[in-house]
Amino acid sequence: MSTATAESRPYHHGDLSRALIDAARKILETDGPAALSLRAVAREAGVSPAAPYHHFKDKAELLEAVAHEGWHELDAALSKARGATQNARDQMTNIGVAYVCFARDNPALYRVMYDRSRDKDALPDQLKDDGAYCQVRDSIGANSGGRATEIDLELATIAAWCAGHGLAEMISFKQFAPLKDLLGGEEAFLRAVFEHLGMFAKVIDQDPA
Amino acid sequence: MSTATAESRPYHHGDLSRALIDAARKILETDGPAALSLRAVAREAGVSPAAPYHHFKDKAELLEAVAHEGWHELDAALSKARGATQNARDQMTNIGVAYVCFARDNPALYRVMYDRSRDKDALPDQLKDDGAYCQVRDSIGANSGGRATEIDLELATIAAWCAGHGLAEMISFKQFAPLKDLLGGEEAFLRAVFEHLGMFAKVIDQDPA
DNA sequence: ACACCAATCTAAACGCCGTCAAGATGGTCT
DNA sequence: AGACCATCTTGACGGCGTTTAGATTGGTGT
Q: Which amino acid is at B31?
A: D
pLDDT bucket at B79, cuts 50 / 70 / 90? very high
User: Residue B12, CB, less than 7 Å from strand C?
Assistant: yes
Distances (CA, A) of A57 to A17, B35, B186: 12, 21, 36
Least-confidence region, from A58-72, A79-93, B54-68: A79-93
Which of B156, B166, B183 has its CB closest to that of A162?
A: B166
Task: Check whether B205 has a pLDDT greater than 70.
Answer: no
A37 secondary structure, DSSP code: -
Least-confidence region, from A179-188, B60-69, B80-89: B80-89
Phi/psi of residue B143, each to 5°?
-105, 5
Q: What does the pLDDT read at residue B6?
A: 37
Phi/psi of residue A147, each to 5°?
-80, -10
Q: Flag if A121 and B175 touch (Cβ within 8 Å).
A: no
Residues with Cβ within 8 Å of residue B23, at least 6 apart in sequence: B5, B41, B42, B44, B45
Q: Flag if A118 and B172 touch (Cβ within 8 Å).
A: yes
Task: Check whether B203 has a pLDDT greater than 70.
Answer: no
Chain A: give the shortest CA distance to residue B40, in Å.
20
Test mutation, A165, A196, A199, chain B, max B CBs within 10 A: A196
Task: Check whether A13 has a pLDDT greater than 80.
Answer: no
Q: Flag if B123 and A170 touch (Cβ within 8 Å).
A: yes
State the angle between helix axes of A88-105 and A107-120 in degrees (0 to 180), rounded to the nearest 10.
Answer: 90
Per-residue pLDDT of A112-130, as tens digits, reads: 999 999 999 999 998 888 8
Task: Check whether B65 has a pLDDT greater than 60.
Answer: yes
Task: Check whether A161 has a pLDDT greater than 60.
Answer: yes
Least-confidence region, from A7-11, A137-141, B11-15: A7-11
CA distance B62 to B202: 41
pTM strictly above 0.75: yes
Q: What does the pLDDT read at residue B171?
A: 93
The gap from C-alpha A191 to its chain's centroid, in whole angstroms, comes to: 19
User: Residue A51, CB, less than 7 Å from strand C?
Assistant: yes
Please give the full DSSP string across A131-192, using - where no structure is assigned. SHHHHHHHHHHHTTTT---HHHHHHHHHHHHHHHHHHHHHHHTT--HHHHHHTTSHHHHHHH
Tally of CB atoms within 10 A around A21: 22
Q: What does the pLDDT read at residue A93?
A: 86
Radius of gyration in angstroms for the set of CA atoms belonging to chain A, rounded to a whole number: 20
Which of B119, B165, B179 has its CB closest to that of A169?
A: B165
Per-residue pLDDT of B16-40, as tens digits, reads: 999 999 999 999 999 999 999 999 9
Mean of all residue pLDDT scores within chain A: 87
Tally of CB atoms within 10 A around A83: 10
Which chain A residues contact residue B195 at CB under 8 A?
202
Per-residue pLDDT of A125-150, as tens digits, reads: 988 888 999 988 888 888 777 777 88
Least-confidence region, from A196-200, B35-39, B129-133: A196-200
Q: What does the pLDDT read at residue B208?
A: 42
Number of residues in chain B: 209
Which nt has its C1' nearest the CA of A10?
A: D25
B79 CB-contact burial (10 Å; exposed 0-12 / middle 13-18 / buried 19+): middle
Task: Check whether A202 has a pLDDT greater than 80.
Answer: no
Chain A: give the shortest CA distance to residue B99, in Å.
13
pLDDT bucket at B10, cuts 50 / 70 / 90? low
Tally of CB atoms within 10 A around B104: 14
